Amino acid sequence: MSKPLIMIGSGGHASVLMDLLHLNGCNVIAYISPCKNITNQMFESIRHLSNDEDILQFNPDEVLLVNGLGSLPKQNNRAKLATFFTELDFNFTTVISPHAIVSSSVYLAQGVQVMSGAIIQAGVYVGENTIINTGAIIEHDCYVGANNHIAPRATLCGNVKTQDNVHVGVHACVIQGINVGGNVIVGAGASVVKNVDDNSIVFGHQALICKGN
């Protein structure tokens, strides 16, 4: 039997995850958030914990966590949250929508979240705490680093490699064989046609690169 789950957060991303967890038949026993969500039915009848430290009443061996914080460019709150709870010896569950297509040869590290309509093809590696968002496509043999956000409808073509802390925006496309450095932001709708150095911002259809992110 799967371990019971505790959701961290109660905002929009957490609500979508809660819906997926219900579809997967998971047992969510509590959520942690400074504010009690009293308007979203996804959180009805679920125990509310107001402080991160409230997690200490649970045995790390008996529950799993769900990282319900969303991911935005230039923000690392999601990664910080994962580190905070991991240092307390808690583990994060991987969430896969029943409406996603994920090859049996894909490796998903701890805490990866694959949302509805996403497609992940053969031979892909996805690092810890990464979001593959709604309708995103990860083609064969890609390597996706930790703390990435592949936003809705973004596409990584075959053999793309992204390092840690990369944000690939809505409807962006990275062509085959490209390497994307760490801490990179690929803007919404951008077409990436050449390798991208660390700490860069990529935007536009010609993949213009701005240094010093």
Query: Do 194 and 103 belong to one domain?
Result: yes
> Are 31 and 9 a contacting pair, CB within 8 Å?
yes
Query: Do 49 and 105 belong to one domain?
Result: no
Query: Do 71 and 175 belong to one domain?
Result: no
Query: Do 130 and 211 belong to one domain?
Result: yes
Domain boundary (86, 115, 137) is at 86
Enumerate the β-bridge partners of residue 208. Answer: 203
CATH number for the domain including 47?
3.40.50
* pLDDT for res 146: 98
Across all residues in the chain, what is the average pLDDT? 92
Q: Indicate the SS3 state at residue 144.
A: strand
Query: Do 81 and 110 belong to one domain?
Result: no
Cβ partners under 8 Å of residue 6, min gap 6: 28, 29, 30, 31, 32, 49, 55, 58, 63, 64, 65, 66
C-alpha to C-alpha distances, 203 to 9, 74, 158, 192, nearest whole angstrom: 31, 15, 21, 8
* pLDDT for res 45: 84
What DSSP designation does 92 have? B
Query: Do 113 and 139 belong to one domain?
Result: yes
For residue 20, give its domain range. 5-86
The answer on pLDDT for 36 being more than 80 is no
Residue 180 vs residue 40, higher pLDDT: 180
pLDDT tens-digit series, residues 142-184: 999 999 999 999 999 999 999 999 999 999 999 999 999 999 9
pLDDT tens-digit series, residues 138-149: 999 999 999 999
CATH number for the domain including 115?
2.160.10.10
**Cα distance between residue 131 and residue 70, in whole Å:** 9
Burial class from Cβ neighbours inside 10 Å (0-12, 13-18, 19+) for residue 183 reads middle
Tokens of 21: 């967890």
* pLDDT for res 211: 61
Query: Do 37 and 104 belong to one domain?
Result: no
Domain boundary (57, 86, 115) is at 86
The tally of domains found in the chain comes to 2
Query: Do 119 and 207 belong to one domain?
Result: yes
Domain boundary (55, 86, 117) is at 86
